[in-house]
Amino acid sequence: MSSKEKPTLGGTRIKTRKRNIAAPLDPAAFSDAVVQIYLDNAGDLELVAKSLESSDLNFSRYGDIFFEVVFIGGRTQTGSVKSDEGERHPYSIIDCEPTRDAILPSVVYIQKILRRKAFLIKNLENVTRRFLQSLELFEENERKKLAIFTALAFSQKLSGLPAETVFQPLLKDNLVAKGIVLTFVTDFFNEYLVENSLDDLISILRRGKMEDKLLEFLPPTKRTTESFAEHFTKAGLTALVEYNERKIFEVKLKEIKAVLTSQVTEEINVSEVIETVKQQVKDAKLPEIEVVHVIWDGIMNAIQWSGKNQQQNSNAVLRQVKTWAPLLNTLCSSGNMEMELMYKVQMQCYEDAKLMKVFPEVVRSLYELDVLAEDTILHWYRKGTNPKGRQTFVKGLEPFVNWLEEAEEEE
């Protein structure tokens, strides 16, 4: 090789892939092109979908704008939900009649688009969240259409619309305070329940982290159980009202049980605990059955199960029963409540393996402490209706029942 020649590399020549040159951003042109497709096909969504599929429009770059055109007929102005000065079509979701039949085709159309262009799912989520956060900028009838669309989207299991995308953006203080959110969710609930069950609706609310927060849809000045019941009863949603009352009731039960367990654990004076529980029961308007369950659970939950054998567990339960018998005696004040307590003890001993053999001793202790009457025990023994572990418990209680019956005959 001469000194003037340049060295070269031998071997295979590697081809480099040409990089795509990014097209300049032109959202207005994209919006106008989509609008024109709607206009050329006179809003026939089947034909629109086919035209969009065969077009070379850059959906990956302008996905948000595409859904703006779907929802409101054109590209939105900055900071607004109204269409820009560009082209607009009259076949959008907010141009439809506020009815199920008018809006459902748009849901089916979007589902078809998403199947072919799955990358647009995130854009649908973005635009939906933005519009829901800006509900006050829509007219009342437009908000109703959005509520119907959203309900149908969940009913049809539309991809790209997670529950949190719908419910969390609605909780803006100004939207809630003006009652806009309450009206929106009322329309949503009514539409969704046309073809779905209340359990389905609760499942959506749970995924949206709203299952236990339904009162937050009401303006702060009306955020009471009574206002909730009045509003949704008038809206024909009595099943939702009943569900909400049950949830509130369950929360109260948990609170009462937690307070009682805490007081029992801390060995607060029995008379003080009795007064606290009596007031809580009164405020919560608990039925008799629930009173029995709450008291027994509260007492038993406070036991520190450190025993390694049957006798130690038995002693722990009997000590607890003896200590808190005055509480049980005060609040289990009727034959029905005594029988419910028998069933409650039966169920706990059945469900907790370490307590299976304790049942007879607990019943006898409750009798000796004047919590359970002889008639209650005999009725349970002879005619009890709960089958859980009954055969075992009846056999275990037989010696004590024989003693009661002999004493009854002597008298």
Over the stretch 274-330, which tens digit does the pLDDT of each residue have?
898 888 888 888 888 888 898 999 899 888 877 667 788 888 899 999 999 999 998
Structure tokens at 175: 């939207």
pLDDT of 86 above 60 = yes
DSSP SS3 for 237: coil
pLDDT of 342 above 60 = yes
Convert the pLDDT of each residue in 24-65 to its tens digit. Answer: 458 889 999 999 999 999 999 999 999 999 999 999 999 999
Structure tokens at 272: 């003080």
DSSP SS3 for 156: coil
Q: Which pLDDT value is given to residue 124? A: 94
Convert the pLDDT of each residue in 249-266 to its tens digit. Answer: 888 888 888 888 898 888
Structure tokens at 56: 């070379």
pTM, two decimals, is 0.73
Q: Residue 121: which residues within 8 A CB-CB, separation 6 or more? A: 114, 159, 160
Mean pLDDT, the chain, integer: 88
Mean local confidence (pLDDT), 346-353: 91
Q: Which pLDDT value is given to residue 166? A: 87
- For residues 361 and 399, is the Cβ–Cβ distance under 8 A? no
Q: Which pLDDT value is given to residue 285? A: 81
DSSP SS3 for 180: helix
CB 284: neighbour CB atoms within 10 A? 18
Of the candidate ranges 169-183, 226-240, 348-362, the one whose mean pLDDT is the lowest = 348-362
CA distance 81 to 393: 69
Q: Look up residue 55 and give its DSSP letter.
A: S
Q: Which pLDDT value is given to residue 21? A: 38
Q: Which pLDDT value is given to residue 19? A: 41
CATH topology of domain 246-409: 1.25.40
- Integer-rounded Cα Rg, in Å, for the chain is 34
- For residues 150 and 104, is the Cβ–Cβ distance under 8 A? no
- For residues 155 and 196, is the Cβ–Cβ distance under 8 A? yes
Structure tokens at 30: 């994209």
Q: So where are the chain's domains?
A: 27-198, 246-409
